[in-house]
Homo-oligomer: A and B are copies of this chain.
Amino acid sequence: MSGINKVILVGHLGKDPEIRHMEGGVSKASFPLATSEFYTKDGQRVEQTEWHNIVVWRGLADIAEKYLHKGKLVYVEGKLRTRSWDDKEGNKRYMTEVVADNFTMLGRRSDHENQGGNESYGGGNTNRGGSGNSRDAAGGSEGLNVRADDNPEDDLPF
């Protein structure tokens, strides 16, 4: 039976996304994301940071490369994927990633606006969400929300 495998994170990028162009022209971006919590132990405030490996494919990868930068606050939604391989000592190694299918920039507009210049984000998106005037995913000059399933043609909101 089908199951559910969903991850929701809000955190800051530890580095700029690193992009790779795979065979077949598929793009893959990856970056570390930190989620911190604070608790109090013996009267001291303690921060505990968890690091996540985020992976983004295809059109989303290109958007990630362009708009997500080190230090930015971002909401990420995706699924867990654990890869395994045998290392040269013959040990089974595991690496768990969050394959993002949706992300949204949070924080001040000035934190994530298009440094390069123009602001004409938002392209020829077609309406898919409802009765003629709603939409599921959108990109704008403040708040950038993009999804893995979006069709490259009408998706790249820029």
Give chain A's interface residues, CB within 8 Å of chain B: 1-12, 22, 24, 26, 28, 34-41, 45, 47-48, 50-52, 57-58, 73, 75, 77, 79-82, 87, 89, 91, 93-96, 98-99, 101, 104-109, 121-125, 127-145, 147-151, 157
Interface of A, secondary structure class, is: strand
Contacts of A136 in B (CB 8 A): 79, 101, 148-149
Closest to A152 in B: B128
Q: Tell whether, in the assembled complex, residue B128 and residue A148 are in contact, meaning their CB atoms are under 8 Å apart.
A: yes
- Cross-chain pairs A/B with CB under 8 angstroms, 16 sampled: A1-B105, A1-B108, A2-B105, A2-B106, A2-B145, A3-B11, A3-B35, A39-B134, A39-B138, A40-B123, A48-B134, A50-B79, A80-B98, A94-B94, A108-B108, A147-B149
Q: Tell whether, in the assembled complex, residue B38 and residue A122 are in contact, meaning their CB atoms are under 8 Å apart.
A: yes
Contacts of A11 in B (CB 8 A): 3-5
Closest to A22 in B: B131
Contacts of A79 in B (CB 8 A): 50, 136
- Beyond A40-B122, A73-B106, A99-B129, whether A2 also contacts B134 by CB under 8 A is no
- CB-based closest 10 A-B pairs: A2-B143, A38-B140, A3-B35, A40-B122, A96-B96, A39-B135, A39-B138, A4-B10, A149-B149, A3-B11
Closest to A92 in B: B93
Q: Tell whether, in the assembled complex, residue A131 and residue B2 are in contact, meaning their CB atoms are under 8 Å apart.
A: no
Q: Tell whether, in the assembled complex, residue A96 and residue B124 are in contact, meaning their CB atoms are under 8 Å apart.
A: no
